[in-house]
Chains A and B, each alone.
Chain A
Amino acid sequence: MSSVAPAELPIDRELADGEADELAETQRGPKAARVKKRLTSRTATIASIIIAVVWTIPTFGLLVSSFRPAELIRTTGWWTIFQNPGFTLENYASVLFSTSSSSPQLGAYIVNSIAITLLGTLITLVFAAMAAYAFAWIRFRWVNWLFIFVFALQIIPLQMSLVPLLQIFSTWLRPMQIWLHDVVPIIPEQNYLPLWLAHAMFGLPLAIFLLHNFISDIPADVIEAAKVDGATHGQIFFRIVLPLATPALASFAIFQFIWVWNDLLVALIFSGGTQDVAPITQRLAELVGTRGQDWQLLTAAAFISIIIPLIVFFSLQRYFVRGLLAGATKG
C-alpha cells in the first residue's frame, strides 16, 4: 500500500507526537523552557506579536461593532469606542428574534445548519467506517485496487460533480420529496435530504481513507480472537472496531462538522435557498448582498454564524488539530 503515501503523512506519528511533546513541555513549565535553547530573539518576538495583533484585529473589530448601536456604527470607527461609547444587545435581538419579513430571522437558519450538520456528519462517518472496515479486514486482491481508486477520488474537485448531481437529484429525489410532503404536510417540499446525501457523498473518500489508516492498525490478534470465538463480522464491527476507533472517529467527526457547517457552495446548489432548508452561511451571504450597508445586522449575524464552530474549535482543539493534520487534502 506504499503507493498511497500522501495522506498517510498527515496522520504521521511524528506529527502527533510532536503535538503531545509540546503540551507536555508547556506543562513542565519554565524549568524545561530554560534548558531548551531559545531561538527567539527580540526581533522575532516583536515580529510574532505584530503578526498576532494583525491577525486578531479584524475579528475583534467585528465583535466590538456587533455590540454598538446602529447609529454609532454608521458614523464612527469601532476603534473610537472610548470617545463614542455605546453598548446594545439590540443588534443580536433583531437578527435573531425580529419577525418582520425583511429582517434576517436567523433562528430558522441556525436550526437548519444544526440539522444539516448532524446527519451530514453521521451518515458520512458510519458508511465510511463500514467501508474502511471491509477494506482493512476482509482481504481480496482486487479490493486493494478499489481502495486506491476511492483514495484517488479525492482529487476530483467538488465543482466537477455539481451539475450532474443536481440533475440526478431533481430526477430521482424530487418526486420522493414531493410525495413525502403530500403524506406529511408538516415537512416542506424542500427538505434536508439532498444536502445530507450530497455532504455524505463528498465527504466519503477522505473519511474512508483516514478511518482505514486507523482501523487497519488494530492488532490482527484481536480480530482473529473474536473470529475464533464465533463473532460475526457485524459483531466485530460494532463491538470491537468501532469502540477501538473512537479517537479517529471523533477527529474526523469534528473535522466534517466544521466543514459542513462552514460550507456555502453545496448549500447554494442543493438547498433551494428558502428558510425551510438553507443553512446560516447561505443566509449570511445573502444578507451581504441585500443588506450590505446595514452593519449592525451584518456584524451580529456574522458573529452568530461563527460562534458555534469557534466553540467546537476551542473546546475540542486537540481533536480538531489532529483531524486537520489528517484531512489536509479534503476538497
Chain B
Amino acid sequence: MTTADLLGKILQVVMGLAVFAAVVGLLIFFIDKAPKKGRDYWQLGLFLLPGMLFVAIGLVYPAIRTSLLAFQDNSGDWTLDNFIWMFTQPAAIRTLINTVIWVALAPIISTVIGLAYAVFIDKSRGERYYKVILFMPIAISFVGASVIWRFVYEYRSGDREQIGLLNALVVAFGGEPVQWMQTAPVNTILLIVIMIWIQTGFAMVLLSAAIKGVPTEQIEAAQLDGTNAWQRFRNVTVPGIRGSLVVVFTTISIATLKVFDIVRTMTAGNFDTSVVANEMYTQAFRASEIGRGSALALILFVFVLPIIIYNVNVLRKQREIR
C-alpha cells in the first residue's frame, strides 16, 4: 500500500461521509419545509424514503428476481432444469444431505451444551469469567474461526511430528494420523464442530439470562416438596425458559442453514463437504450458472421459512398465556 493508495482511501471515506451528511441534511431540510397541505404525509414519506429505497433495491426486487431466475436457464427460457439438476445430480444431492446433517446436529448440540453450561455456572463464583470464555468466539469471524480450527485439524504425513492438536491426540493414543479435511464423512462433522464452537456461547448467554428470569419462589417451592436438582431443572427451569429455548434453537438453525464462510474457507466445498449456501455461491459466481444458484437460494429460503413460522407461532402462544 503506497501513500497515494492510503490517501485515496481516506479521501473516499471523507467524501463518503460528506455526501452522506449532505443527503441527510437535504432530507431534513425538505422535511421541515414540507408544504402545509398534507404536511404529515410529506414528512413521513421523506423520513421513510432512504430506508425504503434501500430495502426495495437491496431486498424486495432482488428476492423477486431471484425467484424468477430459478426457473430460467442461462438464455432466459423458462425451465425446471435447475430443480431437476438439484434433486438428481449426485453432487447436488450430497449438498442437500450435508445441509440437513448440519441443521440436524449444530443447533441441538450448541443448545444442549450452552444450556448445561449455563446451569452449571449459574450463581457459581467467577460466573462472569466462565461466560466470557464460552462467549468469546461470537466476536471472532467465521473465517478467523476456520483458521483456528484448521490448525487443530492439521495433518502431517509419514513419521513427522504432528502439529495439529487432533492428530497429535490420535497419535498419542496409538492411532494413525488422519487427513481430516479430505476424509468424508468425518470432515463434515469436524466442520460442524466449528459452528458449534461459535454458536454455543450465543445459546449460553441467552439461556443464562432466561434462567435468571425464572422466579426463585418456584424453585424454592419445588425444593420444599423434596425434589432433587434434576427434577427441579426438568420441571421448573425448562418450562420457565421454553420461549428462550425456541428462540435460541431456531436462531442457530437459521444461521446453520446459511453457513457459508466455514465451508468456503476450510474446504471450498470439496471432498463432499459442500452445503447449499456454499454451492449457491459456487454455481452463481464461479460457474456462472445463475439459474442453479438462484434455485439453491430459493431452496434456502424455503428451508428457512417453516422455522420462522414455527418461531412466530410459539412466541405468540406464549404471549397469549401471559
Contacts and interface: CB of A to CB of B under 8 A. Distances in A.
Interface of A: 2-3, 5-6, 9-10, 14-15, 17-19, 21-22, 25-26, 30, 33, 36-41, 44-45, 47-48, 51-52, 55-59, 61-62, 65, 73-79, 105, 107-108, 111-112, 115, 118-119, 122-123, 126-128, 130-131, 133-135, 138, 140, 143, 146, 150, 153, 155-165, 168, 184, 186-188, 191-193, 196-198, 200-202, 204-205, 208, 232-235, 237-238, 258, 261-265, 268-269, 275-276, 281, 284-285, 288-289, 292, 295, 298-299, 301-302, 305-306, 309-310, 312-314, 317, 320-321, 324-325, 328-329, 331
Given A62-B147, A305-B143, A134 B48 contact: yes
Nearest to B167: A77
A312 B51 contact: no
9 contacts: A15-B213, A15-B244, A48-B121, A51-B134, A122-B17, A160-B59, A160-B62, A165-B57, A264-B141
Contact of A306 (B4, B40, B144, B152): B144
Interface in B104-133: 113, 116-117, 119-125, 127-128, 130, 132-133
A165 B4 CA distance: 31
Nearest to A312: B139
Given A157-B258, A160-B301, A202 B127 contact: no
B163 A325 contact: no
Contacts of B8: 186-188
B180 interface: no
B234 interface: no
A138 B54 CA distance: 20
List of 6 A-B pairs having minimum Cβ-Cβ separation, nearest first:
A201-B58, A262-B141, A131-B51, A134-B47, A313-B139, A108-B1
Contact of A111 (B9, B243, B254, B301): B9
Given A131-B47, A157-B304, A285 B121 contact: no
Contact of A134 (B44, B63, B197, B220): B44
A78 B152 CA distance: 10
Contacts of A234: 28-29, 31-32
Q: Chain A binding site: helix, strand, loop or mixed by DSSP?
A: helix
Q: Chain B binding site: helix, strand, loop or mixed by DSSP?
A: helix
B55 A306 contact: no
Contacts of A57: 165
Contact of B319 (A2, A205, A313): A2
A269 B285 contact: yes
B209 A18 contact: yes
A302 B141 CA distance: 10
Nearest to B8: A186
Contact of B54 (A193, A200, A309): A200
Interface stretch (B75-83, B88-96, B292-300): B292-300
A77 B165 contact: yes
A40 B123 contact: yes
Contacts, number: 384
A40 B13 contact: no
A161 B20 contact: no
Nearest to B24: A126
Contacts of B244: 9, 15
Nearest to B16: A119
A190 B6 CA distance: 14
Given A163-B69, A208-B51, A302 B147 contact: yes
Contacts of B124: 38, 40, 45, 48
Contacts of B40: 138, 140
Contact of B141 (A10, A76, A78, A309): A309
A233 B42 CA distance: 11
A269 B44 CA distance: 34
Contacts of B149: 58
B87 to A, nearest CB: 19
Given A187-B8, A284-B144, A324-B205, A198 B58 contact: yes
A153 B60 contact: yes
Given A15-B213, A119-B16, A235-B32, A160 B151 contact: no
B55 A73 contact: no
A273 B57 CA distance: 23
